[in-house]
């Protein structure tokens, strides 16, 4: 197991180097200096700014610097648009906000869609199953944007008008557990509704496949009730693909939902990342993507290990 982890980590080093390189190359297709200086800058200001930002150094040196700061966890480069604030500070500030949105959303979505999928799989082929499957397809066909816009309009704006007092925030964020429901509950609910269709369909397919296996027939033949077979035998075996799917989404918890954060003005990681791209804030974009990619790779390795722990048939090699 230990050897497997080491080998996986080593194997992913070139992947990681390529990710950082790719992001740096893509960003440098544009000249950020002119954008940061404004319109009235002359050539001297331009050269000075370029010097200050370190953009006149050879590309490989810049690449090496970025890698060093990532691998030593020294995120003390300053943001270009907010002088005095380091990238690390921005990261520490943004991540909990994203997590406050995505973790409850993931937990709720997973629980609800597993239950709905079980109801659907239990009634397979009957009217209820067909209805649920159809609703899932309908839900998947509506754009995320529409859910957010109408969710914001009816949930935050109209509901407040109707009740005469603000229930959910339309835009903005304040930290603190007390304020959580006011700022976060509506985005969480929207996020749950959006992902329900996809997750329910997937979990239902997993369960339907499980119910066709021989051990289910055996259990039924020896007299176990349908409910018992469903909850005890089937669910335990269906857990493996379910856990994999949840594990794969874990790194995305950190980036948050870019669109939801954008709409509701929650300055989480997605929001900060997007505005950094718009404002040519290279250090923020590079660091945020690098951190995300690192988490992504680690979580894939962790998924493999969990697999081996849950399923004795899986051997890591």
Partner 1 sequence: MSMTDRFFKTREFRKLFRNKSAVIAMLVIAAYLFTALFVMCGGITRETCDTVVGQNKMPGFFIQQTPEQRYENATSKFLPMVQRALSRADQTAALADVRLGQERVVNKSAAQLQAIIDRAIELKNELNQSEDLDADSARLPQLKALEDQVAMLKAPLTGWSRLMQNASLVLGTDAQGRSIFLRGLYSIKIAIQIGLVTAAFCVLLGALLGAAAGYFGGWVDHGIVWVYTTFSSIPNLVLLVVLSYAFTDSEVKDTLLPVYIAFGATFWIGTCRVIRGETLKLKRMEYIQAAQTAGFSPFYILVRHVIPNTAHLMLINFSLLLIGAIKSEVILSFLGFGVKGQPSWGIMIRDAGNNGDVVSGFFWEIGTATALMFALVLAFNILSDALQDAFDPKHV
Q: Which is nearer to partner 1, 240 or 308 (CB)?
A: 240
Quote the tokens at residue 55: 């953009």
Q: How far is the CB of 149 from partner 1 (least distance, A)?
A: 6
Which DSSP helix (H) or strand (E) runs through 316?
Answer: none
Site string for partner 1, 157-196 (x = CB under 8 A): x---------------------------------------
Among 6, 92, 131, 138, binds partner 1 (CB under 8 A): 138
Q: Which is nearer to partner 1, 175 or 311 (CB)?
A: 311
As a whole number of angstroms, the distance between CA 173 and CA 261 comes to: 10
As a whole number of angstroms, the distance between CA 248 and CA 38 comes to: 42
CA dist list (Å): 280 to 4, 198, 208: 40, 35, 49
Q: Is 273 in the site for partner 1 (CB under 8 A)?
A: yes
CA 179 to chain centre: 22
Site string for partner 1, 296-315 (x = CB under 8 A): xx------------------
Q: Is 30 in the site for partner 1 (CB under 8 A)?
A: yes
The SS3 call for residue 78 is strand
Q: Which is nearer to partner 1, 19 or 132 (CB)?
A: 19
Q: Is 262 in the site for partner 1 (CB under 8 A)?
A: yes
As a whole number of angstroms, the distance between CA 147 and CA 139 comes to: 10
Q: Is 259 in the site for partner 1 (CB under 8 A)?
A: yes
Among 40, 72, 141, 317, binds partner 1 (CB under 8 A): 141
Q: Is 317 in the site for partner 1 (CB under 8 A)?
A: no
* Residues 113-132 close enough to bind partner 1 by CB under 8 A: none
Q: Which is nearer to partner 1, 153 or 215 (CB)?
A: 153
Q: For every residue of 195-235, which 3-state class applies, written as one string? A: HHHHHHHHHHHHHHHHHCCHHHHHHHHCCCCHHHHHHHHHH
By rule CB under 8 A, what count of residues binds partner 1? 45
Q: Which among 103-111, 142-150, 187-195, 308-316 is the span making contact with partner 1, rule CB under 8 A?
A: 142-150
Q: Is 59 in the site for partner 1 (CB under 8 A)?
A: no
CA 270 to chain centre: 9
CA-closest candidate to residue 106, choices 202, 303, 247: 247
CA-closest candidate to residue 41, choices 30, 50, 29, 53: 50
DSSP structure string for 251-299: HHHHH--HHHHHHHT--SHHHHHHHHHHTT-HHHHHHHHHHHHHHHHHH
Q: Which among 64-72, 95-103, 104-112, 204-212 is the span making contact with partner 1, rule CB under 8 A?
A: 204-212
As a whole number of angstroms, the distance between CA 255 and CA 258 comes to: 7
Q: Is 287 in the site for partner 1 (CB under 8 A)?
A: no
- Please give the residue ranges that form the binding site for partner 1 (CB under 8 A): 12, 14-16, 18-19, 22-23, 26-27, 29-31, 137-138, 140-146, 149-150, 153, 157, 202, 205-206, 209, 241, 252, 255, 258-259, 262, 273-274, 277, 285, 289, 292-293, 296-297
């Amino acid at each position: 197991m230990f050897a497997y982890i080491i080998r996986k980590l080593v194997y992913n080093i070139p992947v990681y180097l390529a990710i950082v390189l790719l992001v740096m190359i893509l960003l440098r297709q544009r000249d950020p200096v002119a954008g940061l200086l404004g319109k009235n800058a002359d050539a001297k200001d331009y050269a000075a700014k370029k010097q200050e930002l370190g953009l006149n150094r050879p590309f490989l040196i810049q690449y090496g610097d970025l890698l060093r700061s990532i691998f030593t966890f020294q995120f003390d480069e300053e943001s270009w648009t907010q002088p005095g604030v380091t990238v690390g500070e921005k990261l520490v500030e943004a991540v909990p906000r994203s997590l406050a949105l995505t973790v409850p959303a993931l937990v709720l979505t997973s629980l609800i869609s597993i239950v709905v999928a079980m109801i659907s799989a239990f009634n397979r082929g009957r009217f209820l199953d067909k209805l649920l499957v159809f609703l899932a397809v309908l839900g998947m066909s509506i754009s995320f944007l529409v859910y957010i816009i109408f969710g914001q309009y009816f949930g935050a704006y109209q509901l407040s008008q109707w009740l005469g007092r603000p229930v959910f925030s339309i835009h903005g964020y304040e930290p603190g557990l007390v304020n959580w429901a006011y700022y976060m509950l509506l985005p969480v609910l929207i996020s749950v509704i959006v992902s329900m269709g996809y997750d329910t369909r997937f979990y239902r397919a997993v369960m339907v496949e499980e119910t066709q296996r021989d051990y289910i027939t055996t259990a039924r033949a020896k007299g176990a009730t349908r409910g018992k077979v469903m909850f005890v035998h089937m669910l335990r075996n269906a857990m493996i693909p379910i856990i994999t799917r949840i594990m794969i989404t874990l790194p995305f918890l950190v980036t948050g939902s870019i669109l939801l954060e954008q709409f509701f003005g929650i300055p989480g990681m997605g929001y900060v990342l997007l505005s950094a791209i718009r404002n040519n804030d290279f250090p923020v974009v590079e660091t945020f993507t690098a951190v995300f990619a690192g988490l992504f790779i680690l979580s894939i390795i962790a998924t493999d290990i969990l697999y081996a722990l849950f399923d004795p048939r899986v051997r890591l090699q």
